[in-house]
Structure 1
Amino acid sequence: MKLRIIPLALLSIVIPALAQQQPKDAAASTPDAKQAITKVEIKGTAKDYDPRRDDTASKTVINHEEIIKYGDTNVYEVLKRAPGVTVIGNTIRMRGLGGNYTQILVNGERPPPGFSLETLPPEQIDRIEVVRAATAEHSMQAIAGTINIILKKVVSKPQRDFRINTSRSDQQKNLVLFGTIADKVDNLSYYLNPVAGRNLREAPSFGTDQFTLPNGQVSQLRDSARISTNRNTFGGLQPRLNWKMPNEDQLNFSGFIQVFNGESGFENHITNRIGSFGNPDYLDMSNHTDSDGRFLGGEVNWIGKIAGGKLDAKVTAHNGRFSADSRSLSSTLGGRTVLRRDAGYDQPLPHLQQHRQIQPHAVRRARAGGGLGGQPAAHRG
């Protein structure tokens, strides 16, 4: 019996002790009790925002400091260092798709036909946004992605500069002249960018075509030598104005004028080593194309406050013309058969997809001793 009494005695001692502590704890949890309130203050500035680090993985932002860091002279050179972007010549590709699947925007809008990104000096670009995914807000052309080039609107400091960019190699010579005039007078800021350049390219290439029978015998073999030439001269002028009104409204104007003239062509000579290729077998081919174009456009943008809201109105206009004349000649061995094709284009901007082609005609020249295939050769004009 004593062993059973001891636990009961201990339990009787613990219960009164807990009962005495409960009123104190209840008093401490009443609303009237004074508690210390911890003050938490969070501050942030726009300078702490890093678009490349803080945005989603599908979007990359190249800021102005990165754009001018390496002394690039055009947008194509800047985009060569952008992740997920491939630049081949003046064609921009993303995600391994063709250039037609990548949308190029300037200030969030499609540039007018004829607009050349080569005339955009990097100093006037505020940032470049590279979106590596298709989104609902963009057209079907943005299947591979979108590149949005945002230009500066306000002049931070006066600028007067003149730059020369030249390159030379065995096959290519380039010369580009850039200039920038920028200033701010009261609430009016302006940019003026002239550009002029000339490109020369002459590239030879060689090739061999060989056809082998199943038994390993070479049935046809020929060598080809080709030289391609390209010469073009271009010039442009881009003015931009920004006027801040007293009531915080803004009036913006941007425009461009571009002209160019170009010559391109090739000469190709084929030497048959074994067998023959087709009938007639054209061994000498050449092409020469002359082209020129004139493009101009402008945009007026007014941003104002109306009835407690914000109105952003834009008016754009553009015009231009493109013309080209091309002549191709193909001839067989010794010039016995000559095929000539002429094509011409001369259309304004809305009708560039239309063209006219002069009906090609063949010239067969007879030579002493017979014609083609042992038959008397005929002359047809």
Structure 2
Amino acid sequence: MTPNHHRRRSCSPALLLLASCAVAQEPATQVEVRGDSSAQRRADTAGRQVVARDELLRHGDTRLADALGRVPGITVDGRGPQTELKLGGLGGGYTQLLINGEPVPRGFSLDSIALDSLERVEIQRGASVQSTQAIAGTINLVTRRASALATRDIKLALASQWGLPQASATLNLGDRWGAATWGLGTVLASERQRWPATWLSERREGEAATLVQRTLTDKVEYDRTESLALNPRLSWQQEQADGSRWQLSTDHSLRYARSDGGVIDHRTPLLGAPPEQQDSQLQLHYQRVFWRGRAQLQHKAADGSRTEARLSGTFSRRDQQARGLGTDFTPRLVQDTHVDGRADDQSVVLNLNHQRPLGEAHRLDVGAELEQAVRREDRVQTELALPGGKPPDNLDERYDARVQRRALYVQDDWTLAEKTEAQLGLRLEQLSTDSEGNVFTAVRQSHRLVGPVLRIATTPAGGWGTFKLGLSRGFKLPAPRDVMPRRYVPIEVSPTAPAQTGNPDLRPERAWSLDASWQRALPALGGEMVWSAALRRIDDVILDRLIVQAQDLSYPYLLQRFNAGSAWSASLELELRGEARGALIDGRPLRWQASLAALRSRLDDVAGARPALAGQPDWQAKLDLTQPLSAAWTAQLGLQARGRALADQPDKRRLAFNAQHSFSADLSWQPQPRHTWRLSAQQWWGNDMVDNKRVQVVEAGLPVRYDAREAWHRQVLWRLGYEQPF
């Protein structure tokens, strides 16, 4: 039996391919950031939103997820140690995460990239010819390049949450060496974290839904990780006499981490029969190595054309030892499971791109991408035969999975008239997957995808601002674990925590997306306004169905993904930013940024009061205020809030996520230029993250309803930081 919490963490023994290998790539050189990011967004025909480095580091965050959570349009959804990024409130693979325009590899977590190693974040709604397999859009993390200026600075941070210490030290070096520039970032971190939660499960029988069983579970997930991350980079540039330029650059990210963690569950029966186990404990020890490297050669000709070749590679390895223990109410040991596993992921990607002006009105962009990825996993599970326990399930599992991807794209950037631009593009892609193992029949799939893109941007005279409209065809391929006919089993199988298995017959989701925006300056507020809207029609949407097989004592409830017809998703978002001089303190500007979004989705072929895509809130809002108090002191205040997310699913299942809110505040002191002290508090006045699940089944001819309420408790995260050059 595979412990549920083992499965949920990044050290899961499940066979997963490189999910990112099924995603198209977006060149990191697409956007050159110079000056104001709002002006860049206005000038980009696709309306790409750029968040610069200084914006990411403004609050002194050390975790990437904390910094991205402040960005308008991005939702950071976390349950315990799990973190997911969403655009338009759509997660589960609808939003694609990229690093330097390339899909993140399997085994990647947000902790794998140090926040200080980023130069900017690019946010693109909808699909593009460089990334059609992102229905909601892409979040591209662009790492720092070698700087032409001398850089020597150090940052120190101490933090505490739930009384546990966290510490990190960051060192950045860089300089010019003739025609070359180099840089090196180093991050050393030690973090102790815990995520307490409370689960309340109920069973109701009959038409009157009479309560017959209630169980309370006190749960704690914990982790202690020591890590070292290195980010070396080198760039060489040569100007030619004819005005052309050659540039060769390379950058790498290496992270090594050792972790000890686990999960502790204590169950208290409040009514009816007790569960099988009173106490469960999962002990985890694992080591992870993550490496990503890129070499890029670029030539810019005197006529404005550009040719680029980029070779990228990734490697990740996870070695893990786990032990699961369980006792009944005697108490008596009824489970003792040992799991040893290793998973290796490797990928190589070749990108070729050429851009060339065609006369005064057109610019042609053509490219090709080739990718080869391999995942290998070995897993040995040993269980002891114990009195009162289940029969031992001793497993020796081996997997081998391969992915090949080939893509061609072409795009014409067309100047229709003065201050009116258009993009017309097409992407052709073929993806082949081949997976086999000793516990399931080989699975082979091949997909051919065609993704057209049409965008137009215009800035009419008279100060009406900039209007943009885009139509694109995007895709979402099934996650590899969703097609593998292998079971993933929790500690106790129930309708609200069923075993899971893959479905080899899954088809990709296909979606038409209509994205629009209006960006306009607001002189009266000293800033600007951006309205964004999106409408998406998704076919062959992938959902879960619950299979009840009472005759199977080990797996009476099984969850399987399937194509469930069509879905609609819509969003409307308003962003406002500005600066008010003397609003609070004479002579000192109050800088502010606010966003408010309304989100909706609907499933066409699912019954219920609210058939919708799971996890998408009704609305979400963000507010960020920055007020200089004096020449040396600055205060900042942030607010994040979102509405509930209610979704009826197939087989009379309902998933609900309660509304959330939290504040953040920080105070910084700069006694001299570039010497900064910062004290911050995050998740201040934040409420618990509560998920509710409801399932209705028929057992022995009797209607039965199961309810589960999962509450993840939150506490203030205190952080003290210091940075200075040397």
Q: Above 0.5 in TM-score?
A: yes
Contact preservation (8 Å) 1:302, 1:314? yes
Alignment partners' CA distance in 1, 2:57 and 2:218: 42
Q: State which of 162, 183, 196 in structure 1 corresponds to 2:175.
A: 183
Q: CA deviation at 1:266?
A: 1.8
Tell me what 1:147 maps to: 139
Tell me what 1:130 maps to: 123
Q: CA deviation at 1:176?
A: 1.7
Any residues of structure 2 matched to 1:55-66 within 5 Å, and which? 55=44, 59-66=48-55
Tell me what 1:169 maps to: 161
Any residues of structure 2 matched to 1:1-381 within 5 Å, and which? 50-55=39-44, 59-89=48-78, 90-114=83-107, 117-118=110-111, 120=113, 125-140=118-133, 142-170=134-162, 172-211=164-203, 219-247=212-240, 248-277=245-274, 281-304=276-299, 310-336=306-332, 338-350=334-346, 352=375, 354-364=377-387
Contact preservation (8 Å) 1:119, 1:195? no
> Taking structure 1 as reference, are residues 118 and 273 closer, same or farther at Cα in structure 2, changes over 3 Å only?
closer
Amino acid at match of 2:77: I
Q: CA deviation at 1:208?
A: 4.1
> Taking structure 1 as reference, are residues 66 and 56 closer, same or farther at Cα in structure 2, changes over 3 Å only?
farther
> Taking structure 1 as reference, are residues 205 and 185 closer, same or farther at Cα in structure 2, changes over 3 Å only?
same
Alignment partners' CA distance in 1, 2:239 and 2:47: 40
> Taking structure 1 as reference, are residues 160 and 133 closer, same or farther at Cα in structure 2, changes over 3 Å only?
same
Alignment partners' CA distance in 2, 1:353 and 1:148: 27
Contact preservation (8 Å) 1:320, 1:348? yes
> Taking structure 1 as reference, are residues 338 and 91 closer, same or farther at Cα in structure 2, changes over 3 Å only?
same
Q: CA deviation at 1:249?
A: 1.1
Q: CA deviation at 1:244?
A: 1.1
Alignment partners' CA distance in 2, 1:354 and 1:94: 32
**Which SS does the other structure have where 2:291 is aligned?**
strand
Q: CA deviation at 1:254?
A: 0.7
**Which SS does the other structure have where 2:221 is aligned?**
strand
> Taking structure 1 as reference, are residues 80 and 139 closer, same or farther at Cα in structure 2, changes over 3 Å only?
same
Amino acid at match of 1:334: T
Alignment partners' CA distance in 1, 2:116 and 2:262: 35
Higher RCO (C-alpha 8 Å, min separation 6): 2
More strand, by proportion: 2
> Taking structure 1 as reference, are residues 95 and 257 closer, same or farther at Cα in structure 2, changes over 3 Å only?
same
Contact preservation (8 Å) 1:171, 1:201? no
> Taking structure 1 as reference, are residues 237 and 116 closer, same or farther at Cα in structure 2, changes over 3 Å only?
farther
Q: CA deviation at 1:163?
A: 0.6
Question: C-alpha offsets along residues 17-58 of structure 1, whole Å, 9 cap, x if unaligned?
Answer: xxxxxxxxxxxxxxxxxxxxxxxxxxxx98798023444685
Contact preservation (8 Å) 2:231, 2:253? yes
Amino acid at match of 1:184: R
**Which SS does the other structure have where 1:236 is aligned?**
strand
Instruction: Number of aligned residue pairs: give it.
Output: 319
Question: C-alpha offsets along residues 251-286 of structure 1, whole Å, 9 cap, x if unaligned?
Answer: 1011122101112212222233432145xx211211
Name which of structure 1's ranges 322-331 and 59-68 shifts more when overlaid on structure 2: 59-68
Amino acid at match of 1:66: E
Q: CA deviation at 1:296?
A: 2.5
Alignment partners' CA distance in 1, 2:120 and 2:64: 11
Contact preservation (8 Å) 2:325, 2:333? no
Question: C-alpha offsets along residues 79-128 of structure 1, whole Å, 9 cap, x if unaligned?
Answer: 21222211135421112222522222233223455555546555554432
**Which SS does the other structure have where 1:334 is aligned?**
coil
Q: Structure 1 length normalisation: TM-score?
A: 0.72
Q: CA deviation at 1:305?
A: 5.9
Q: CA deviation at 1:311?
A: 3.3
Alignment partners' CA distance in 2, 1:274 and 1:69: 51
Contact preservation (8 Å) 2:342, 2:377? no
Alignment partners' CA distance in 1, 2:194 and 2:281: 14
CA RMSD in angstroms, aligned pairs only: 3.2
Alignment partners' CA distance in 2, 1:196 and 1:347: 25
Question: C-alpha offsets along residues 277-320 of structure 1, whole Å, 9 cap, x if unaligned?
Answer: 45xx2112111111111222322211236898643222233334
> Taking structure 1 as reference, are residues 275 and 139 closer, same or farther at Cα in structure 2, changes over 3 Å only?
same
Q: CA deviation at 1:222?
A: 3.4
**Which SS does the other structure have where 1:354 is aligned?**
strand
Contact preservation (8 Å) 1:338, 1:364? yes
> Taking structure 1 as reference, are residues 172 and 92 closer, same or farther at Cα in structure 2, changes over 3 Å only?
farther
Alignment partners' CA distance in 1, 2:76 and 2:46: 21
Alignment partners' CA distance in 2, 1:216 and 1:150: 53
Question: C-alpha offsets along residues 126-156 of structure 1, whole Å, 9 cap, x if unaligned?
Answer: 432211223343142x112111233443524
Contact preservation (8 Å) 2:161, 2:193? no
Contact preservation (8 Å) 1:84, 1:132? no
Structure 1: stretches of 5+ with no match in the other structure: 1-44, 367-381
**Which SS does the other structure have where 1:82 is aligned?**
coil
Amino acid at match of 2:51: I
> Taking structure 1 as reference, are residues 207 and 138 closer, same or farther at Cα in structure 2, changes over 3 Å only?
closer
Contact preservation (8 Å) 2:37, 2:51? no
Alignment partners' CA distance in 1, 2:101 and 2:273: 56
Q: CA deviation at 1:171?
A: 5.3
Amino acid at match of 1:317: G
**Which SS does the other structure have where 1:71 is aligned?**
coil
Alignment partners' CA distance in 1, 2:53 and 2:295: 24
Alignment partners' CA distance in 1, 2:108 and 2:200: 40
Q: Structure 2 length normalisation: TM-score?
A: 0.40
Q: CA deviation at 1:191?
A: 0.9
Alignment partners' CA distance in 2, 1:96 and 1:105: 18
Tell me what 1:37 maps to: none
Name which of structure 1's ranges 216-225 and 149-158 shifts more when overlaid on structure 2: 216-225
Alignment partners' CA distance in 2, 1:226 and 1:48: 44
**Which SS does the other structure have where 2:230 is aligned?**
strand
